[in-house]
Structure 1
């Protein structure tokens, strides 16, 4: 392990003969670790603004999943179920018995898969801008949504994302993007076996319209909460870290989620109709 910045170290853990890179904040006693799960074709670097703020309350870990960022390349593209299994092996390698998962975009279906496969390992899940499902189909439509989102994101995001996208490559992109758009994230959220918080942005073109969110939410259990951050697009973890960390912290503490006046964006909890 090497120190990367104040309060953070970097290291690797082996998964099926491949090195997986991760970032870890200083230990915090008495709190379950928070593990951040990045999105499609990108490393965990863009999740760091939110992770740094949450490091005040718990140990935070930000891995680059196998084949991404600073982790070793694999001989083939890992799909969502395989990435979920790899994440479980990362937790094993780091000696983490139970964690809180915070996923963004494709990291949301991966987190949901982990919770369904091993609910005893996951205390809670936070799904930030969950991607996948009918609203992201077909492939051309999803590409257009990504193009729209790119124009709405913080300009500094490109400096993080573009090198990662280029490293991931077009072949991996095609195989995994097609699978991600078919993954029924909202429907899987309905059956989440652990308490779940979904955080969505009002300017996120990859999210279905509010009527669809409410339609699906009618089937959700009482342990599901949905919060909306006005003005945020898809990469909320990068663009609105103060507001997002405030929402996550409030939810973990079991207190009302209200707007953080010191952060960009305006948060409100959606009142979910129940069946």
Structure 2
């Protein structure tokens, strides 16, 4: 495994790969190379016999904003938070990757780390990447955790998505802008247009209904990029898969950053097949709504979905 040094030689012939001067996380910050592309990632110490959890970021962003939640789970899971190729500090591929391309890179990143299977946690664009990963490599995903899944009809056309992002920016913690602004600038306008086209063409609903693993969907009650929880439940009822929908009251889109304590609490309970309860020590209130649940799963207690 590559050591966490201040500068690693790049096998692609570029300038040495440097770690951030001020580490942003308690997770170790490292570099590796996947498909000839330098990839920056964060990794937790390996707890004995801990299951692997891979966190995948959203559209135009790096994995940095996922760290508040990932850090809270690092003692229970072998945690990875990469910047996917073209995002954050990672190198850019010669041709921008679409959703299937990102899913394949996620699988090869796990190969590179010697990981056979993992639970995948995604936010926003990371959720379609998870759906494609599950479609391409069903034997390699243990569970799916979809936080604020985006990219469907509710976010089209691009002008509507930009308007939704503008509204969401006003609802996120002020500190989020300090992460998002440089990430978006680095990602660039051409990459934004190409990735949006990929998301609009991606069969998210078909892939969602094809899942065959325990799935947790988490949405915020103040997220302008998401349809209402009731609409989400209506869609999810078309699958016989084990699906649990959790609404975090007061949260917007970047739940992994704004409500990490509540989200980590819900994820731990989901992973342990426990009934979902609110964490009284964290901002926001988690309310669970059962869609489909296996016989081994304790029932959710809340069934009255809000309309908005």
TM-score range, shorter chain: over 0.9
* Equivalent position of 2:158 in the other structure: 139
Tell me how far 1:29 sits from its aligned partner: 1.3
Is the partner of 1:156 in helix, strand or coil? Answer: helix
* Equivalent position of 2:36 in the other structure: 17
Q: Give the whole-Å Cα distance in 1 for the aligned partners of 2:148 and 2:201.
A: 16
More helix by share: 1
Give CA deviations for 1:105-125 in whole Å, capped at 9, x if unaligned: 000000111111111111111
Is the partner of 2:67 in helix, strand or coil? Answer: helix
Tell me how far 1:209 sits from its aligned partner: 2.1
Aligned residues: 274
Contact 1:104 1:130 in 2 (8 A): yes
Structure 1, unaligned runs of 5 or more: none
- Between 1 and 2, higher relative CO (CA 8 Å, sep ≥ 6) is seen in 1
Question: Is 1:70 equivalent to 2:86 in the alignment?
Answer: no
* Equivalent position of 1:130 in the other structure: 149
* Equivalent position of 1:262 in the other structure: 281
How do residues 234-249 of structure 1 correspond to structure 2 at under 5 angstroms? 234-249=253-268
Is the partner of 2:291 in helix, strand or coil? Answer: coil
Distance 1:175 1:268, change over 3 A: same
Tell me how far 1:73 sits from its aligned partner: 1.4
Instruction: State TM-score, norm by structure 1.
Output: 0.95
Tell me how far 1:273 sits from its aligned partner: 7.7
* 33, 46, 50: which one aligns with 2:52: 33
Give CA deviations for 1:20-70 in whole Å, capped at 9, x if unaligned: 111001111122111100000010000000000001211111000001111
Bigger radius of gyration, 1 or 2? 2
**Cα-Cα RMSD:** 1.7
Q: Give the whole-Å Cα distance in 2 for the aligned partners of 1:28 and 1:257.
A: 24
Distance 1:273 1:50, change over 3 A: closer
How do residues 1-275 of structure 1 correspond to structure 2 at under 5 angstroms? 1-2=3-4, 4=23, 7-272=26-291
Contact 1:34 1:60 in 2 (8 A): yes
Tell me how far 1:183 sits from its aligned partner: 3.3
Q: Give the whole-Å Cα distance in 1 for the aligned partners of 2:26 and 2:279.
A: 25
Structure 2, unaligned runs of 5 or more: 6-22, 294-308
